[in-house]
Structure 1
Amino acid sequence: MPASATTSRQAPVAALRFGRLAAMGTVAALILFAGVWGSWATAHNVMLTKGRETGTIKVTRCAEDTCSGPFTPGSTGARARASAEIAHTVAVRKGQTYTVVVKPGTDEVVRSGPAGVLYSWVPLGGALLLASVVVAGGLRLTRVAWVLAGSGVALLTAAFLAL
């Protein structure tokens, strides 16, 4: 069989392989980008606190989606508020006091400190786990997939233990 016949048969296989790698690489990158995007909405308030109002909130009331209570300022320039809102999650309980950062221009607060930082990056932890499946199955890069999965599990476990 001539060499040109073998090469012409391998070209479609190579093109399909490249297409699979490009498609799965794009999907994995989009999943990771979505995880960072979802986390950054809260993380930038918690991590970049310079110039932001910080303090504590004592939770006095909880509804389905939010809890509220008085905000006590802890930084220069912060003003006391009779009522500030924090998202009602399993980590927020009535009667507890939490260190928080006020989202600029609102009366909404998010947790600060190590627990707040880890909790804000939870969407990225889920994205890392999901992307590891795509990387292992679609790209056939098992070592990279294990690193992604391990990072996601570590992030989620640390957030769970911190809260």
Structure 2
Amino acid sequence: MPATAVSSHRVSRQGSVAALRFGRLAAMGAVAVLILVAGVWASWRTAPYVMLTKGRERGTIEVTRCADDTCTGRYTPISQGSSGRDRAVIEKTVAVRKGQTYTVVVKPGGDEVVRSGPAGILYAWVPFGGALLLASVVVAGGLGRTRAGWVLAGSGIALLTAAFVTI
């Protein structure tokens, strides 16, 4: 084989290897970003009510009855402009028990409430903590960025542990 044919074969092979490497990095990067965006999206379902409480109805709920997915109880207002309710609904989780009283924020337009305070904020961001853990595997394995993967995993573990401890 002539020398020019060998060198052109090497150049085309290096080009295809670079293109495949770029495609893998782009695909894995897109998957990691998609996982993180989905985590934020899932967390944002309750996070704005808990984090941005100015102008919202705040109070306490004393849980008196629990069904399969929800618990109900009497809502007692704390903030000005909030009115008491005989029945308020809170999502049933491992952190909500019958007979306990929790500080809550009322979701606009109904009788549904979400936990407030540090426990409520951390609990609202639990889906994002899970997304951080999942994205860490993609970043470390798929992108080959081990340190960044460890940082994401550590952040996810810290968030989930803090939520578990405060609840």
Identity of aligned residues (%): 74
For residue 105 of structure 2, what is the amino acid of its counterpart? V
CA distance in 1, matches of 2:13, 2:24: 18
Which residue of the partner structure matches residue 137 of structure 1?
141
Deviations 1:19-44 (A, max 9, x none): 00000000000000000000011000
| Alpha-carbon RMSD | 0.7
- AA aligned to 2:145 is L
Structure 1 gap segments, 5+ residues each:
none
Match of 1:158 in 2: 162
Q: Any unmatched runs of 5+ in structure 2?
A: none
- Aligned counterparts of 2:9 and 2:28: Cα–Cα separation in 1: 30
Q: Distance in 2 between matches of 1:35 and 1:5?
A: 45
Task: Give the aligned residue type for 1:90.
Answer: V
CA distance in 2, matches of 1:34, 1:5: 43
Q: State the TM-score, normalizing by the size of structure 1.
A: 0.98
1:11 and 2:32 matched: no
The Cα of 1:6 is off from its aligned counterpart by 1.6
Distance, in Å, in 1 between the alignment partners of 2:15 and 2:46 is 48
AA in 2 matched with 1:82? D
Which position in structure 2 is the counterpart of 1:128?
132
- Superposed counterparts of 1:94-113, under 5 Å: 94-113=98-117
Q: CA deviation at 1:55?
A: 0.2
Distance 1:133 1:127 in 2: 10
